[in-house]
Structure 1
Amino acid sequence: MDENRDAYTDLETVESQRNDLIAEEFPEGPYGTSLNTESLGKSTPWRKDQRPPNQFSYENRELHAGIKRDYPGEDDKRNEPLNQ
């Protein structure tokens, strides 16, 4: 899919609204529908910067960079490089 992209970017919150997908409440479809669908999930092609939400990390990682969580062992190890 060819995208018409501008040379500039919008405010970070606008970009987040555009690119962060919302987790579906009923990923199998609306209540009461048959399950005989062609496919589940996203119905349009992925844009370059779109991404699914990570349910187990902070929404804005830049604001929480370097701050430890209050509960021991709950720091997000998935965002750290493997070679540390």
Structure 2
Amino acid sequence: MKEDTQPSYSDFSTVEKSHEYITAEEFPDGPFGSPVNQKLGKSTSWEEGQRTYSAFNYENKNLHEKAQRLFPGAHPVHDNPKEHEQNPS
């Protein structure tokens, strides 16, 4: 019997995460060309794991892993030393 020698395919973690995160609207009063008073927000239902980006986090937490906050009294970092990759929160 012939074995399957094809390597399994998986996408980069950044590509996989881009499907889970929703970006903010380009314009604060709604999409360009929308009629006045149209309901704003996500037009489709939320999928499992989807969320919006927070403006108060690092974009790529892996680049800032083990970095200490320099300002005295700053909120402690939520770094798990047992995991290399962490979900943005």
Q: TM-score, normalised by structure 2?
A: 0.57
SS at match of 2:15: helix
Aligned alpha-carbon RMSD (Å): 2.8
More strand by share: 2
* Structure possessing the higher radius of gyration over alpha carbons: 2
Runs of 4 or more above 3 Å deviation: 69-77
Tell me what 1:42 maps to.
42
**Size of the alignment, in residue pairs?**
70
CA distance in 2 between counterparts of 1:50 and 1:41 reads 14
Summarize the Cα distance change of 1:32–1:15 in structure 2 as closer, same or farther, 3 Å threshold. closer
Structure 1 unaligned segments of length 5 or more: list them. 1-7
Whose RCO is larger (CA < 8 A, sep 6+)? Answer: 1
Percent identity of the aligned residues? 40
Q: What does 1:58-69 align with in structure 2 at a 5 Å threshold?
A: 58-69=58-69
Structure 2 unaligned segments of length 5 or more: list them. 1-8, 80-89
Greater shift, 20-29 or 64-73, is seen at: 64-73
